[in-house]
Amino acid sequence: MSTPTSFLELRDLRIHFPTDDGLVKSVDGLSYKLERGKTLGIVGESGSGKSVTSLGILGLHKGTRAKISGEIWLDGEELVSASAEHVRRLRGKKMAMIFQDPLSAMHPFYTVGQQIVEAYRIHHKVSKKVARKHAIDMLGRVGIPQPERRVDSYPHEFSGGMRQRAMIAMALSCDPELLIADEPTTALDVTVQAQILDLMRDLQRDFNAALIIITHDLGVVAELSDDILVMYGGKCIEYGTAEDIFERPEHPYTWGLLGSMPRLDREPTERLMPIKGNPPSLINVPAGCAFHPRCAFEGRTGGKADTEVPALLESSGGHLVRCHMPPELRRDIWENEIKPNLESS
Amino acid sequence: MSERGQRSEPLLSVQGLEKHFPVTKGLFQRQVGAVRAVDGVSFDVFKGETIGLVGESGCGKTTTGRLITRLIEPTGGKVVFEGNDITHMSQSKIRPLRRDMQLIFQDPYSSLNPRHTVGAIVGAPFRIQGVKTEHGIKKEVQDILALVGLNPEHYNRYPHEFSGGQRQRIGIARTLALKPKLIIADEPVSALDVSIQAQVVNLLEDLQNELDLTYVVIAHDLSVVRHISDRVAVMYLGKIVELADRKDLYDAPMHPYTNALLSAVPIPDVKHRGDRERIRLQGDVPSPLNPPPACRFHTRCWKAQVICKTEEPPLVELAPGHQVACHFPENADTISAPAAAKIAQNVQDAQHPKSTIA
């Protein structure tokens, strides 16, 4: 296969974990592209495979029992077949990750400064003094007050918001070209979350990095993303621009997510419209369309829902949907049955 | 829903409730300070209504819930339930009252005993309270399981066989077992996935309608609280800063903190991305170990004047049913005349000497 032109491209990525109970297909045939300076939001419930994908890009499944197939192209290099040592060298400089829980992602035994310095000196041949100066600069940039003093603090001495800022400083210390943020604000309070989202937006503009933001919070995704990928049961079920997903979504699962969420910008409607049932087990993914047992429109798929896996097909310019219903029917349902309910009263 | 909240005798009345956790040091555990987790909280809960307690972490909302149910002892203040002062009631006296007052916990994984079957968990309240049922406990438990949307045949299963949403339903079933009057729900949906959250929110609403329940919902998610509450109290560092009907609070918040909280909530509306007016607070919530003097919000408030540093604003009713603790409330057009005069006086006082706090 040819070398892609996109900065990041995943082709049919599969990450399976053999367990005693059976094969867990966490990621099952995922493909997407991302350019520099753009933000991709990945949305899905727990167990949809969103975090496993990003760990796969960073090469953090290498050396585990995970079975990975497919291709991950980053700036013209294929990473699935690359050696663990090679990917390790890319990590930090070429790509970096912001983890959900900064308290467990940082080493409690070293000061924040030491941890940033270590990463920086692996990729840059500089003295400790220069690296320390850089660490202070980075802490200042992410808005930590008195960085020259705070650089010698331990992670537990920081508050939750400050710790997340320190994580971001660490991730950005080597100017990564790809930044993956896995639930970066889930552990934070709303006022601090707003500060962190502003910060990420500004930093991305300054560094022109490609940003992947993984979250279950549709509000956060809507604030930051250019494109959005909705995952369900290890597969992409809808992909499009932020406008596609929020203004004209076509997959029943996306409709369900939008209907489940109480929103501040709408009148509190009488009822939320939840999705029935529970997310699927990744060992026994339902046959056919993985979503069909929970789908309110299963009856309109022409009886294929439980036998055939629907293909991810283009509905209109770049908007991909994995659903058995024909595009005209989906648009009709959205306009006449879903959208009026979301906007009622 | 708000019509049902009859303004007669409150079901629950919390008056000046305080909880200070001591901070000790050294061999003799000398007390060197106190975490003022809840510091003078007062509100009434009327029958049939849902009151929401919102705030950021460390604001004391969970502690308030535990104080109301007497899981911890208050340092000061009063809790009055159905006219009985339960603040210092002995364990043996309070036990019968626990039937009427139940808690739903946040984490459906740690709040269910993994070694007990669902039947044992939901049936426990009957055994503890010595309640006799007409057709036996098993029948009663199965009825409750059906009520919360679980299969009654799962009576003999263990919690690990259920998903997070189903476990939360088990917790709710246990809460409902003795038909309580008041339910304190501490972050009932925050551990659940979005699609499951909506199921549980709808379930709580249905149960309220069917069983005539009164809820105190403690949550940090402002959208969820708005959806289920009739009235909402906003807490900051152990105090209520604003208490109002849902509509008043969300449409015309008067306290700057409420305003900042609301504007910080990300809204999934890509069309108007960027043109929403936002208030960005600086920094984090100060430590409750050493809260700022006078108005506790003044260190992060953009409207703060000298008076905010020196004098604590009382929680006063500035519009019908709308209590605010602020020297310079927003949305002033909805304020009654005497209250407006008081605020004008405050502003004048503050301008001598004329200086603002950065």
Q: How far is CA B248 from CA B98, B335, B342, in A?
A: 33, 12, 21
Q: Which residue of A has its CA nearest to B267?
A: A219
Query: Rounded to the nearest 5°, which phi and psi values hold at B260?
Result: -65, -40
CB B265 within 8 A of CB A191: no
pLDDT digits (tens, 9 = 90+) for B34-82: 888 999 999 999 999 999 999 988 889 989 999 999 999 999 999 999 9
Tell me the average confidence (pLDDT) per consecutive run of 10 residues in chain A, 345 residues long.
Answer: 84 93 91 93 88 91 90 93 92 89 86 92 92 92 86 89 87 90 84 85 86 91 93 94 94 92 78 86 87 91 87 91 94 91 65
Within 8 A of B266 by CB-CB distance, chain A residues are 193-194, 197, 217, 219-220, 222-223
Instruction: With CB atoms and an 8 Å threshold, state whether B194 touches A273.
Output: no
ipTM of the complex: 0.84
**B310-338 burial, b if ≥16 CB within 10 A, otherwise e?**
eebbebeebbeebbbbbbbbbbeebbeee
Single-letter amino acid, residue A37:
G
More confident residue, A223 or B338: A223
pLDDT digits (tens, 9 = 90+) for B101-143: 999 988 888 899 999 999 999 999 998 888 888 888 899 999 9
pLDDT, position A35: 93
Q: How far is CA A101 from CA A181, A182, A183, A231, B227, in A?
A: 11, 9, 8, 22, 28
Instruction: With CB atoms and an 8 Å threshold, state whether B273 touches A222.
Output: yes
Helix B118-129 and helix B136-147, axial crossing angle in degrees, nearest 10: 120
Within 8 A of B297 by CB-CB distance, chain A residues are none
Average pLDDT, integer, range B208-227: 92
Considering only the beta carbons, identify the residue of A45, A145, A220 that sits closest to B194: A45
pLDDT digits (tens, 9 = 90+) for B259-283: 999 998 888 887 777 677 788 887 7
The conformational region for residue B10 under phi > 0 = left, psi -120 to 50 = alpha, else beta, is beta
Of chain B, the percentage scoring pLDDT greater than 90 comes to 49
Q: How far is B312 from chain A (nearest CA, A)?
A: 23
Return the H-helix or E-strand segment holding B51. strand B50-54
CB distance from A342 to chain B under 8 Å? no
Return the H-helix or E-strand segment holding A180. strand A178-182
What is the Cα–Cα distance from A166 to A141, expressed in whole angstroms?
10
Scan residues 112-171 of A and list those with Cβ closer than 8 Å to B: 145, 159-162
Within 8 A of B194 by CB-CB distance, chain A residues are 45, 216, 218, 257, 260-261
The 8-class DSSP code of residue B356 comes to: B
pLDDT, position A97: 92
Q: How far is CA B205 from CA A232, B12, B198, B214, B229, in A?
A: 28, 20, 11, 11, 10
Considering only the beta carbons, identify the residue of B165, B226, B270 that sits closest to A264: B226
pTM comes to 0.86
CB distance from A275 to chain B under 8 Å? yes
The 8-class DSSP code of residue A35 comes to: -
What is the Cα–Cα distance from B292 to B289, expressed in whole angstroms?
10
Scan residues 230-249 of A and list those with Cβ closer than 8 Å to B: 242-243, 246-247
Using the predicted structure, report yes or no on whether residue B357 has a pLDDT greater than 60.
no
Using the predicted structure, report yes or no on whether residue B339 has a pLDDT greater than 70.
no
Instruction: With CB atoms and an 8 Å threshold, state whether B266 touches A217.
Output: yes
pLDDT, position B343: 66
pLDDT, position B350: 59
Q: Which residue of B has its CA nearest to A253?
A: B195
pLDDT, position A345: 40
**A136-162 burial, b if ≥16 CB within 10 A, otherwise e?**
bebbbbbbbeebeebbebbbeebbbbb
